[in-house]
Chains A and B, each alone.
Chain A
Amino acid sequence: MQTFADSFSTAFGLIVTGDPILYEVVGLSLQVTFSAVAMAVLVGGPLGAILAIGRFPGRGILSVVVSALMGLPPVVVGLGLYMALSQSGPFAVFELLYTPMAMILAQFIIVTPIIAAISRQVLSDLSLEYGETLRALRATRAQTIATLLWEARPGLLTATLAGLGRAFAEVGAVMIVGGNINHVTRVMTTSIALETSKGELAMAMGLGIILLILSFGINAALMGVRGTQRARAYG
């Protein structure tokens, strides 16, 4: 049996030797995940704000739907997107299947509900806290939303981190719509799945360790940003 020690030395070896394949795969992982999460923040943040602050019929139901979508299995997202992007599907003309863009779309669909639901919670709490004060200061609706979004930065950062974590670790959907094509759509998680299916467990685990280290680094960096902001807000 291949041991954990093998995995650690494999991971270490890949990192110190500057394995070009590893860097290619890591680079694509980061690019896909950051693009997907950035898009999800741009859509999910305002969506959460509308759900938290907006007054329109069906708001309650929409909130429940968004929360429920957090539980969407990635494989289902991947399959749905495959059917949509397939040459026999409705969006064939974009020729996105088996491209990084398809993977970004898949992760975007998976992550947006998470960011929207957390943002909604954060913003409705803040809205309770600031609502009367902002109304007393004669803020317009748009100004209220802008103020709350700005004040909600720490909470929105948490939402973003949750989204990043989910996207970075996701394998089912990107495997289906990306196809795990070498040098084109192979990312960290699909590489791990591939090495596992080749029985190269030490290599798979080693890549897993590198994924964990990267995830740790991203979280630490963003938490650092958050720490500085907190210091500025509370002294």
Chain B
Amino acid sequence: MAEPRIIPFPDHDTQGKTVTSDGIKVQNLYLERDGQPLLRGVNLGLNATGVTALIGPNGAGKSLLLKCIAGILQPDGGSIDLPETQRFPALVFQKPVLLRRSVRSNLLHALKLAKVPRKLRPGRLAELLVLADLTRQSEAPARALSGGEQQRLAMVRALAAKPQLLLLDEPTASLDPAATSAIEELTKRTAHAGVKVILVTHNCAQARRLADDVAFLSRGQVTEHSAAETFFADPKSDGARAYLSSELILQP
């Protein structure tokens, strides 16, 4: 895995046209709600593959950044450049919102939205069920599944469109260790298949297990971005140091 490029601390030289690269480029991203700035000039460059962890304290803007990248939030300024193949990222939320239908119908619905031709859907459905290990529960009502099963279903539903960029917003925050491990396994397999993953998490151990690089957000800005090993061994910013030390106290 190539060393991720480090974006220097907020840089306002964004007037010129962005240089097209094979990675994801977030430049001077700005977002406000009710006059409150929530993202205050986010700059971040990411490789087109691998797993990036976005960490930082509550309210730093991690989920907002993720939703901007997903395209379901319109930023008030700045730009996001995604490689051609990653134009249509998939997004998985902390709390999965499943349709009040069977597991199978949920996936078929997603396949339909993903414009998968009708003839190909049964095959794809079977693949996704296997991937989520839900083949046995295929006819069960989705909302009757356990929390872990629901999140696995949400993960493979997001993969129905064969996205090249998968955005995970604290996907294991409300899951037990076994279910967490299943989601992490699924994440790894997805990344191995060449899909870029951006993961928002509060779980530093999870970030260590999964991430190639880590971006630290604080008060609406990326204050540090480095390879995961480097970040956890030697955080540069005060904020990241303070965050990691409190994490250590809470999650020994």
| CB of B99 closer than 8 Å to a CB of A | yes
Stretch at the interface among A58-66, A134-142, A169-177, A184-192: A134-142
Number of A-B contacts (CB under 8 A): 52
List the interface of chain B (C-beta within 8 A of A). 67, 70, 72, 88, 90-91, 93, 97, 99-102, 109-110, 112-114, 140-141, 143-144, 157-158, 160-161
What are the 3 A-B residue pairs with the smallest beta carbon separation, nearest first? A235-B144, A233-B100, A136-B91
**A231 CA / B100 CA spacing, docked (Å):** 10
Given contacts A136-B158, A138-B114, A235 and B141 within 8 Å (CB-CB): yes
User: Told that A132-B67, A137-B157, A138-B88 touch, could you supply 10 new A-B pairs with CB distance under 8 A?
Assistant: A129-B97, A130-B99, A132-B93, A134-B113, A136-B158, A137-B110, A232-B102, A232-B141, A235-B140, A235-B143
B80, chain A: closest CB distance, angstroms: 16
Q: Write the nearest CB–CB distance from A190 to chain B, whole angstroms.
A: 41
Secondary structure at the B interface, as helix, strand, loop or mixed, is mixed
Kindly identify, within residues 108 to 152 of chain A, every residue whose CB is under 8 Å from any CB belonging to chain B: 129-130, 132-139, 143, 147, 151
In the complex, the answer to whether B99 meets A137 with C-beta atoms within 8 Å is: no
Given contacts A151-B99, A235-B140, contact A135 B72 (CB under 8 A): yes
Among residues of A, the one whose C-beta sits closest to the C-beta of B145 is A235
CB distance B141 to A137 under 8 Å? no
Contacting residues, chain A, for B161 (C-beta < 8 A): 137-138
The SS class assigned to the A binding surface is helix
- Interface 0/1 of A206-235, CB less than 8 Å to B: 000000000000000000000000011111
Residues of B within 8 A of A136 (CB): 70, 72, 90-91, 93, 158
> Considering the chains assembled together, what is the distance between the CA atoms of A218 and B109 in angstroms?
32
Would A151 and B113 count as touching, CB distance under 8 A? no
Docked Cα-Cα span, A143 to B99, in Å, equals 14
A-B contact pairs, 5 of them (CB 8 A): A130-B99, A134-B113, A136-B72, A137-B110, A234-B100
Measured CA separation A91–B88 after assembly (Å): 54
- Which residues from A are CB-within-8-Å of B143? 233-235
Query: Which residue in B90, B101, B160 is a CB contact (below 8 Å) of A233?
Result: B101
Asked if B113 contacts A137 (CB within 8 A), the reply is yes
Contact A234 B109 (CB under 8 A): no
Query: What chain A residues lie within 8 Å of B141 (beta carbons)?
Result: 231-235
Residues of the B chain whose Cβ atoms lie less than 8 Å from the Cβ of A134 = 113
